Chain A
Amino acid sequence: MNVLPTLEGGLRIDLETPIDWLLMTCIPADARGTPVELADQFNELMAEDPGATDWREYVLPDLRAQFDGQITLVEEALKSTGGEIPAQIMIYRADGDRWFGVLNQARLALDARYHFEDDDGDEMTPGKLTAWYRYRHYSALQHDLLRHVMR
């Protein structure tokens, strides 16, 4: 996989192997795998607030729609390649925040499931280790987005 900045201020991701494809398709799958929806986690932070009811009624649905829309964006970008390898995925400058958001959702979901801070690589099960690699890969993509797109 190659990740390259574009002249328009976006990123181009070249998928060259089936593993590259698998890694990218894991992003939305991981993001949808959270035990508690991210918007609901945020809503809990407002539980003690006098305006909690309004927050739940007005803000929570917006956050849910926004976070779901981020995942859909990535799913549609993957679908647009037709699943053929080699393939290119373009992240346009205007979509940088949304791509960053879905990568964040994926990392939050993985961390909630595996608690990476609790042990080091030597003690990880194979499933946890592959999840850790995905987590690191998503972080690397986020760094690329921050460096080249979200400036």
Chain B
Amino acid sequence: MSDTLTVTREAVSLDVPWNVVVHDDPVNLMEYVVYVFKKVFGYPEPHAERLMMEVHQSGRSIVWSGEREKAEFYAQQLQSLQLRAAMEKAE
């Protein structure tokens, strides 16, 4: 008879919305941040500008919310374009 070792990993909750957050940084040009939001999310210019201003003035902005897998994809895209992006569970 052999013993069975069961390893339980805490599953990442997939059933709550996840936020993609962009934090302010001292270097990225405002025009570039708007360009990135349009390119990654396909946002129209006024919405992209509003989010950029929120990052600039408040230090952070929730730029997208939805399922975790897609949030990971967007966070990776934003980081690859050198924005300080992270993810958090929506309240």
| Interface pick from A11-19, A21-29, A87-95, A99-107 | A99-107
**Which B residues lie within 8 Å of A150 (CB)?**
35
**Which A residues lie within 8 Å of B35 (CB)?**
146, 150
Chain A nearest CB from B39 CB (Å) reads 9
Q: Are A111 and B27 in contact (CB under 8 A)?
A: yes
Q: Is B80 an interface residue (CB 8 A)?
A: yes
Write the B51-77 contact mask toward A (1 if CB under 8 angstroms, else 0): 000000000000000000000100110
Q: Is B32 an interface residue (CB 8 A)?
A: yes
A-B residue pairs in contact (CB < 8 Å), sample of 14: A38-B82, A42-B79, A45-B23, A45-B85, A45-B86, A46-B75, A46-B86, A49-B86, A49-B88, A59-B76, A101-B81, A104-B28, A108-B27, A146-B35
Instruction: Given A46-B87, A49-B87, A50-B10, answer yes or no on A107-B82 (Cβ-Cβ < 8 Å).
Output: no
Q: Which residue of A lies closest to B23 (CB)?
A: A45
The number of chain A residues with a CB under 8 A from chain B is 28
Q: Is B12 an interface residue (CB 8 A)?
A: yes
Q: Is A63 an interface residue (CB 8 A)?
A: yes
Chain B nearest CB from A143 CB (Å) reads 7
Q: Is B5 an interface residue (CB 8 A)?
A: no
Docked Cα-Cα span, A98 to B22, in Å, equals 21
Write the A30-73 contact mask toward B (1 if CB under 8 angstroms, else 0): 00000000100110011001110001000100110010000000
